């Protein structure tokens, strides 16, 4: 992980979400993605708050985007780890942070969302 990759990922991730283009959003993620979020419980009813597989996450986000047609994120800052990035951003829920872990191809394999 390096700062250039983290900067590009952070900006592209926010831009993808703000475009509401699900294909652009999904381009950042591995087929083997595991997504963890308390919002998963609210939207899908999955009690664990976890989804496995890119298709399951895509279906969740498709529903979430339809429920939030004015969704907009503002990047506050990012933090670089060994094989991870933390994004701190502001959205319709207030301030949020997500931890992303990456594979060798630069795709997110797991993500953990945290909200105020």
Domains of the chain: 3-115 (3.10.450.50)
| Close Cβ partners of 64 (under 8 Å, ≥ 6 residues apart) | 39, 43, 71
The pTM (predicted TM-score) of the whole model is 0.94
Where do the DSSP E strands lie in the chain? 29-36, 50-52, 74-80, 84-91, 94-102, 108-115
More reliable by pLDDT, 87 or 1: 87
User: Tens digit of pLDDT for each residue in 24-61?
Assistant: 999 999 999 999 999 999 999 999 999 999 999 999 99
CA distance 100 to 85: 5
The answer on pLDDT for 77 being more than 90 is yes
């Amino acid at each position: 992980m390096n700062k250039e990759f983290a900067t590009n990922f952070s900006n592209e991730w926010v831009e993808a979400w703000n475009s509401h283009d699900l294909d652009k959003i999904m381009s950042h993620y591995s087929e083997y993605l595991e997504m963890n979020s308390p919002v998963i419980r609210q939207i899908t009813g999955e009690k664990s708050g976890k989804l496995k597989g890119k298709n399951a996450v895509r279906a969740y986000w498709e529903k979430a985007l339809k429920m939030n047609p004015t969704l907009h994120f503002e990047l506050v800052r990012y933090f670089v780890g060994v094989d991870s990035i933390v994004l701190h951003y502001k959205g319709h829920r207030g301030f949020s942070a997500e931890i992303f872990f990456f594979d060798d191809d630069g795709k997110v394999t797991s993500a953990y969302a945290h909200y105020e």
